[in-house]
Copies of this chain bind each other. A is one copy, B any other.
Amino acid sequence: MKLRTEPLELHTIFEFRIAHGARRAHRNTLVRLEHDGIEGIGEAAPSHYYGETEAIVEAAFAAWAPVLGDDPFALDEIDARMDQVLMGHGAARAGLEMALHDWIGKRLGQPTWKLFGLDPARTPRSCVTLGMASPEEMERKLETVRDFPLIKVKLGAPGDVENLKRIRAGYKGKLQVDANTAWNPADAVRVLKQIEPLGIELVEQPVPRGDLDGLQWVRERSPIPVFADESAHTLADIGALAGRVDGVNLKIMKTGGLREMQRMIHAARAHGMKVMLGSMVESSLALTAAAQLAPLVDYLDLDGHWLVKDDPFDGAPRERGEIRLGDRPGLGVVPAGSPAMAVKAGR
């Protein structure tokens, strides 16, 4: 297999601010994997919060390139060889695994979701995410998403509750909130009780990622279902979270690929947990890769398509949170502006 990478710079329409920090330009990496005349593509979106950078992604690919071998089907064997030279590195690993799935699907002439045996009609609608903003900026943002059926609002700053009340006053759809580890358990419960009358569907990661007891403490007192996000990276985390939260937000850049994401979905289901698939700031390439497993979950946060103004790809994310799994082989991602694809309707 021949591996090549190139920078994939994305710019968000608004500055994207959450409790961890704020940025407008995001330097992702595009992965091209060529073998036997077929090219599979993937995307790595490094997370600064987890210490990942473009340079670290490049270094990981350099370490892995010599051990990829000759058989793109051999996913577990490739994983094992990669682990021998470098463990972890979720974003880079995800980019590579995406390219392998894309290659396999193209080689077999089948969409990736179909090779997983999934039913595209079960794909839920995605939310759109509103980053933190001043009241005036929030008003402008809200104007652009008023006809979305589901909005996720980033919390964790002073004025949260007032901000959310203002949003609710002008928006009739469903609301979710995400604190991105901003609160301590007592503050979390206090805020959640204050915003509960606004009709909030769920709250993500109210407390620091390592505080699993805190998650459980909040869950036992919260009137709103509690989801883990920063606390849920790999399969073992699901075991640790079982009984402590109502659900988990899984992201392909955290899990390092579709297969670990699938494992985590199944493990979460064993405990009756709800599952959301989330995303970093990503192009339609990575969003469409994650969307291959969308029929397995309850909630989607695959809205980067809408947040990014220079998305070079066209895939599953459509308008107003609709995610469509089409019949193109592999991930089904093409350069933006390609002819419309045949699609199956989502729910």
Contact = CB atoms under 8 A, between A and B. Distances in A.
B108 A110 contact: yes
Interface in A76-110: 76-77, 80, 108, 110
Given A74-B117, A80-B119, A119-B80, A236 B108 contact: no
A117 B73 CA distance: 6
Given A235-B270, A236-B270, A236-B272, A118 B76 contact: yes
Contacts of A264: 266, 270
Copies of this protein, total: 2
A114 interface: yes
Chain A contact residues: helix, strand, loop or mixed: helix
Interface residues on chain A, size class: 20 to 34
A235 B76 contact: no
Interface centre among A74, A122, A271 (most CB of B within 10 A): A271
A119 B77 contact: yes
Given A108-B110, A235-B266, A267-B267, A76 B122 contact: yes
A126 B260 CA distance: 27
Given A110-B108, A115-B115, A77 B121 contact: yes
Interface of A: 73-77, 80, 108, 110, 114-115, 117-119, 121-122, 235-236, 238-239, 242, 259, 262-264, 266-267, 269-272, 295
Q: Return the 6 tightest CB-CB contacts between A and B, nearest first.
A: A75-B117, A267-B270, A263-B266, A239-B270, A77-B119, A267-B267
